[in-house]
């Protein structure tokens, strides 16, 4: 193209209406996703739908690189390296271990997190209102939630006076925070609380011997990834249990009180959209959950020989019969 042709092209573009220019193809942006859990729990389809609501569509203007550790902490570091090497415009970290690994590898690429507990004490952000740095997002927990889980177990007959708290210390470093809340509630509810850490198939199977109390399963992607053997052990123990996700109840667990994971992704997509349009993570406040759901499985209650109080059933969002 010679100088005369170049100037003519500039004149043509200048004459086009702004609305026409806005319709011209734009550069494809890149989103890297690191999830601790398996894809079928907090899935790519949900994220794609949430992004599309903001105008970001694959094969159009965004490419999404999804990596999943499937509940195993070991590969998360390698997967984080893979994503950083792709030079994404923004990263989505689903679960605490994902944030931990990504923040070690970049202080410049924006990171939005979802389904993360207590990001301040874990050092991910300075505070909720002003996160600072390159990280912000959405938590899956607020203070009273752990006490509510314990209270639900006290509304089961026969009466539960001892509760085993299940979590994997390697994938739930925030567990001590929740345990403190649970222990405070236990004194009021006159319940004995005992930690029951799990980390492999053998420790999960050992839960089948916990026949002298109830079980409280903390938010932990290890328990999500291993929910089939976990539910099998709890069923063998014939113990009432409360879970941190509705997924467990759909697959045979007794009760859950939880945030909505799909809602977490929808909210995260809104921040990803804002960052891709120029917003800084430091200026986007970390937000606590606003939507909760209580689910009860009466089929399971009947199978293990317990009953649920009418008061609890009355406020349940969903009752499986």
pLDDT digits (tens, 9 = 90+) for 85-143: 999 999 999 988 899 999 999 999 999 999 898 899 889 999 999 999 999 999 988 77
**DSSP sequence for 2-67:** -HHHHHHHHHHHHHS-HHHHHTS--PPEEEEEEESS-TTTS-HHHHHHHHHTTT--BTTTEEEEEE
pLDDT of residue 40: 56
pLDDT of residue 225: 85
pLDDT of residue 22: 41
User: Does pLDDT of 63 surpass 70?
Assistant: yes
More confident: 211 or 72? 211
Indicate yes or no: pTM above 0.85.
Answer: no
Distance CA 54, CA 48 (A): 10
Would you give the distance in Å from CA 17 to the centre of its chain?
44
Distance CA 266, CA 270 (A): 7
Share of residues in the chain with pLDDT > 70 (%): 90
pLDDT of residue 164: 98
**pLDDT (mean) for 231-241:** 97
**What is the chain's mean pLDDT, rounded?**
89
pLDDT of residue 170: 85
- The 10s digit of each residue's pLDDT in 160-200 is 999 999 999 988 888 998 999 999 999 999 999 999 999 99
Distance CA 108, CA 256 (A): 38
Per-residue confidence at 255, pLDDT binned at 50, 70, 90? very high
Residue 158: cis peptide before it, omega within 30 degrees of 0 = yes
Q: For residue 205, count CB atoms less than 10 angstroms from its CB and return exposed for 0-12, middle for 13-18, buried for 19 or more.
A: middle
User: Does pLDDT of 2 surpass 60?
Assistant: no
Give the contacts of 252 (CB within 8 A, at least 6 positions apart): 231, 235, 297, 300
- The 10s digit of each residue's pLDDT in 269-321 is 999 999 999 999 999 999 998 888 999 999 999 999 999 999 999 999 999 99
CA dihedral of 161, 182, 237, 251, whole degrees rounded to 10: 130
Per-residue confidence at 38, pLDDT binned at 50, 70, 90? low
């Amino acid at each position: 193209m010679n100088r005369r042709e170049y100037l003519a092209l500039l004149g043509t573009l200048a004459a086009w209406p702004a609305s026409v220019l806005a319709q011209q193809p734009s550069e494809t942006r890149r989103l890297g996703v690191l999830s601790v859990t398996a894809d079928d729990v907090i899935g790519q389809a949900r994220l794609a739908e949430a992004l599309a609501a903001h105008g970001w569509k694959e094969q159009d203007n965004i490419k999404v690189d999804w990596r999943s550790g499937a509940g195993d902490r070991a590969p998360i570091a390698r997967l984080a390296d893979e994503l950083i090497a792709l030079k994404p415009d923004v990263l989505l970290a689903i679960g605490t271990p994902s944030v931990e690994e990504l923040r070690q590898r970049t202080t410049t690429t924006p990171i939005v997190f979802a389904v993360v507990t207590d990001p301040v004490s874990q050092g991910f952000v300075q505070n909720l209102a002003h996160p600072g740095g390159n990280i912000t997002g959405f938590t899956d927990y607020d203070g009273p939630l752990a006490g509510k889980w314990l209270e639900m177990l006290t509304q089961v007959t026969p009466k539960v006076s001892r509760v085993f708290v299940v979590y994997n210390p390697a994938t739930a470093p925030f567990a001590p925070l929740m345990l403190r809340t649970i222990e405070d509630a236990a004194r009021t509810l006159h319940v004995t609380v005992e930690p029951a850490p799990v980390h492999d198939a053998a420790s999960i199977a050992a839960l089948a011997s916990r026949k002298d109390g109830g079980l409280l399963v903390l938010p932990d992607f290890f328990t999500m990834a291993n929910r089939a053997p976990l539910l099998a052990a709890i069923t063998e123990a014939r113990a009432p249990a409360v879970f941190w996700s509705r997924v467990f109840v759909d697959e045979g667990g007794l009760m859950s009180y939880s945030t909505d994971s799909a809602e977490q992704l929808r909210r995260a997509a809104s921040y990803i959209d804002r960052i891709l349009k120029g917003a800084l993570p430091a200026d986007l406040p970390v937000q606590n959950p606003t939507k909760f759901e209580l689910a009860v499985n009466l089929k399971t209650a009947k199978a293990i020989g317990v009953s649920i109080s009418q008061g609890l059933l009355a406020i349940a969002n969903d009752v499986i019969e």
